[in-house]
Amino acid sequence: MTSLVLTLVAPREATTLDTATISLARDIIRAQGETVILSPGEAVDIPCPTCAPDVLAQLHTHLGSKVDVVLTPAEGRRKKLLVSDMDSTIVANETLDDLAALAGIGDKVAAITTRSMNGELDFATSLRERVALLKGLPQSLLEKAWQDVRLNPGAVEMVRTMRAHGAYTALVSGGFTFFTSRVAALCGFEENHANTLLTDATGHLSGAPGLPILGAQTKLDLLEQLSTRHKLAPEATLAIGDGANDLPMLRAAGLGIAFFAKPVVRQAVAAQINHTSLRTALFMQGYPASAFVSA
């Protein structure tokens, strides 16, 4: 059986990873090796030489309401490729919803977004429907929406730390290049991919996205293409996202992380961040906080 590592991470603004929690986790997995402190009071690694199939469920039952818990193979933990979603992952926003809210049609667009991210509506169809509602809006509204975009905690640390240790990083979104290009520059992603918004001769949105529409298959294709380009095995890759259109790339990556994800994603992906920040994606790879590269 593959040797594993159990990583525990506590939300450092709200609580501390105490000795009682660590001891309980060690008892559940019947740990024998020493606990490795990645960040005092925040994150630890615990060797897990063997693991019964129901152990992860037990860990979530006893610890999942307090801390993030994840089991990963002990070998090859530090990934050499990061492919990340943007909306509700790298940034706290759903940028298309924000744009619609500024136009006074936020509820209509947000309802379609929710159905799409929960896997209830085909992504390409949902994007066309949402963009159609934006027809006639001035392109300047994009700039206004950008002013409200906020990076999620740990986003810059995750990207810059992985790059500093030799990983290649790419941002991919079902949103729009207007936003991904700027977010990529802020975080340090080496490339970014997204959809485009078409405008008419007067500088107003035409109500149609550029083709082809970037969706779930495109995200998976990008992961595979970058793996091939950099001569990486699937095990050396990391993907992170929150919605149904992220599922194919999350399943294909060596480490697929569901970040505050929709129920359909949490049901399908074992490695989850539900309580903490994007720093946890680094702890999952065995990085101590002392190795993090901050903004």
Active site residues: 85, 87
Instruction: Evaluate whether 88 touches 261 at the Cβ level (below 8 Å).
Output: no
Q: In Å, how far are 7, 15, 48, 202 from 35, measured between CA atoms?
A: 10, 19, 10, 63
| Helices vs strands, H then E, count in the chain | 12, 12
Instruction: Evaluate whether 259 touches 278 at the Cβ level (below 8 Å).
Output: yes
How far apart (Å, rounded) are the C-alpha atoms in residues 172 and 51? 34
Beta strands in the chain (DSSP E): 4-9, 36-39, 43-48, 68-73, 81-84, 168-176, 191-195, 197-199, 205-209, 237-241, 255-259, 271-273
Contact partners, residue 202, CB within 8 Å, separation at least 6:
none
4-9 and 68-73 beta bridge pairing: antiparallel
What does the block give as tokens for 34? Answer: 């020493």
197-199 and 205-209 beta bridge pairing: antiparallel
- How many CA atoms are closer than 13 Å to the CA of 51, on its beta-carbon side? 23
Contact partners, residue 152, CB within 8 Å, separation at least 6:
89, 90, 91, 92, 277, 278
In degrees and rounded to multiples of 5, residue 266 shows phi and psi of: -60, -30
